[in-house]
Amino acid sequence: MKLPRRHFLHLTAGAAVVPIATRAASALDYPTRPVHLLVGFPAGSGPDIRRRRRDNVAKKKSPAPRA
């Protein structure tokens, strides 16, 4: 299979951009702003209680502020 020059140049340019793009897209260790969890159910319902329990566990494990 013969590779046209233009196609080869597009592939090499794309391969050169990948390491730069991945470095720029790296995430922080934890959120810097408060995390807001929204539940679309009334207070005291099953999903709300489960969310509150999970939030209490997450507060112990993560240094991120929670609202």
pLDDT computed for residue 26 by the predictor = 60
pLDDT computed for residue 30 by the predictor = 65
Contact 66, 58 (CB under 8 A): yes
Question: Quick one: DSSP state of residue 42?
Answer: -
pLDDT in tens, the chain (67 residues): 677 888 888 888 877 777 665 555 566 666 677 777 787 888 889 988 888 888 888 777 776 666 5
What pTM did the predictor assign?
A: 0.42
DSSP string, 2-13: PPPHHHHHHHHH
Domain extents for the chain? 5-61
Type of residue numbered 28: L
pLDDT computed for residue 22 by the predictor = 59
pLDDT computed for residue 8 by the predictor = 84
